[in-house]
C-alpha cells in the first residue's frame, strides 16, 4: 500500500482511508472488527469515523457506537501507533446537542467523549463535520444560499474553535484539525485566521467526491493545490451506485438503499443513465467498476485520499485492490467525455 504525507501535518497515511460509518447498523461489532483486521493486513492504516456514526439511520441511541467498536478493536488488538485515526464533531443538528453550533466548548466536550469511546489518548485528525452557517453539500447545492452570513460572528466563532483546538493540541489530545463539507470561502477564512493568530491550521477537507459528484473540481481544487490541503473523498462509489448493484433501479436486500430508498437525494432521473455509461466504460476497458471509480479519484491534480467503506469483506477487498490499479490515458479520456455527457446527475 502506497503511503503519503498528509498535507502539512507531518502524518504519514495510507493512500486509501477506511470508512467505518456502517459499523453498528449495517455491520455488527464482529463484522467491524473483521473489516479492521483486513484493512490493517492490507496496509490501510488511515481510518475515519465520527461521533454521530453509525448512519442509515442516525439515531440518538446509536450515536457513538462506531467509535466504541473501534475502541473495542484497539483494546483487543493493541498497537494504537499502527494507525492514523480521524474522527469528527457533528455540526448543528437535531440528534447530537440539538440546535447547538460547534464552539470551543462543544469541541472540547466532543473530543473528550470520543477519546473515551475510542479507548485512546489522542486523535490524529479531528474534523468539523459540517459548518455552522450551512453547506452546499449533502445535495443542498440546489437550494443553499449564502445569504445573511455575519462575517464578524463567523470569524469570532472560528477563532474560538481554533483557540480551543490549540489547547487540545498542547494537551496531546489531538494532533491536527480538519474540515468537512466546507466551502472554499470557509476554508480560506480558517486558514487566514490560523496564520494571523498563530493558531492550528486546518490540514484537510473531507468532501464528497466521485465520478458522479465533482463539485471539488473548480475553485476548491485550486485552493487544495495551492494550500496543500488534501481532499479526503467520501462516497467515491457514490453510495454504491457506481458498483452497479442498483442498476435497473433495483434495491437489493440489506443494501444501503434498502434503508435509505433515495440515497439521500442521489436517486434522480439522470443518475441511472450516468451509472450505465460508467459501467459500460469499465466493461470496455476490462476494469472492475468499483476499482475504476476509486482509482479515478487518485488521478486528480489535487491530493485525494478516497475513503472506502463496505458492508462485506469481499467488497472491502475489492475496494482496497483499487490501490494497485493505474488508469490509462485512454480510460481517463473516456471518463472525461462521459463526465461532459452526464454532469451533476444529482
Report how far apart, in Å, the C-alpha atoms of 172 and of each of 34, 118, 122, 128 are. 30, 15, 6, 18
Cell of 215: 463539485
Instruction: Point out which residues pair with 4 in neighbouring strands.
Output: 13
Supply the DSSP string of 149-163, one letter for each residue: --HHHHHHHHHHHHH
Name the nearest CA neighbour of 231 among 159, 304, 139, 324: 304
Given the residues 53, 126, 209, 246, select the one marked as catalytic: 53
Whether 144 sits among the annotated catalytic residues: the reply is no
Long-range contacts of residues 70-73, Cβ cutoff 8 Å, at least 24 apart:
70/20, 70/23, 70/32, 70/36, 70/117, 70/118, 71/117, 71/118, 71/119, 71/120, 72/29, 72/33, 72/119, 73/32, 73/33, 73/36
Q: What amino acid positions are annotated as catalytic residues?
A: 53
Amino acid at each position: 500500500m502506497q503511503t503519503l504525507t498528509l498535507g502539512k501535518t507531518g502524518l504519514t497515511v495510507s493512500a486509501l482511508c477506511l470508512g467505518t460509518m456502517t459499523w453498528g447498523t449495517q455491520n455488527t461489532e464482529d463484522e467491524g472488527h473483521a473489516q479492521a483486521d483486513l484493512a490493517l493486513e492490507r496496509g490501510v492504516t488511515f481510518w475515519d469515523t465520527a461521533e454521530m456514526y453509525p448512519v442509515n439511520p442516525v439515531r440518538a441511541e446509536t450515536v457513538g457506537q462506531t467509535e466504541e467498536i473501534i475502541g473495542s478493536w484497539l483494546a483487543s488488538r493493541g498497537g494504537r501507533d499502527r494507525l492514523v485515526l480521524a474522527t469528527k464533531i457533528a455540526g448543528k443538528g437535531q440528534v447530537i446537542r440539538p440546535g447547538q453550533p460547534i464552539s470551543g466548548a462543544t469541541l472540547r466536550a466532543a473530543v473528550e467523549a470520543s477519546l473515551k469511546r475510542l479507548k485512546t489518548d489522542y486523535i490524529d485528525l479531528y474534523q468539523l463535520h459540517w459548518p455552522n452557517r450551512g453547506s452546499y453539500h449533502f445535495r443542498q447545492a440546489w437550494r443553499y444560499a449564502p445569504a445573511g452570513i455575519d462575517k464578524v460572528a463567523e470569524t469570532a466563532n472560528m477563532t474560538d474553535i481554533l483557540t480551543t483546538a490549540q489547547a487540545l493540541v498542547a494537551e496531546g489530545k489531538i494532533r491536527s484539525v480538519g474540515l468537512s463539507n466546507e466551502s472554499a470561502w470557509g476554508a480560506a477564512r480558517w486558514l487566514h485566521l490560523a496564520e494571523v493568530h498563530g493558531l492550528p491550521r486546518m490540514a484537510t477537507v473531507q468532501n464528497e467526491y466521485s465520478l458522479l459528484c465533482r463539485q471539488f473540481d473548480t475553485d476548491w481544487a485550486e485552493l487544495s493545490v495551492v494550500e496543500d490541503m488534501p481532499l479526503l473523498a467520501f462516497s467515491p462509489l457514490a453510495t454504491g451506485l457506481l458498483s452497479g448493484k442498483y442498476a435497473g433501479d433495483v434495491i437489493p436486500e440489506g443494501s444501503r438503499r434498502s434503508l435509505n430508498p433515495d440515497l439521500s437525494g442521489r436517486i434522480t432521473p439522470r443518475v441511472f443513465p450516468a451509472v450505465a455509461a460508467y459501467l459500460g466504460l469499465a466493461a470496455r476497458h476490462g476494469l472492475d467498476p468499483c476499482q475504476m471509480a476509486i482509482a479515478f479519484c487518485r488521478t486528480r491534480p489535487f491530493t485525494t485520499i478516497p475513503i472506502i467503506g463496505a458492508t462485506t469483506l469481499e467488497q472491502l477487498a475489492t475496494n482496497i485492490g483499487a490501490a494497485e490499479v493505474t488508469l490509462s490515458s485512454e480510460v481517463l479520456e473516456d471518463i472525461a467525455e462521459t463526465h461532459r455527457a452526464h454532469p451533476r446527475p444529482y
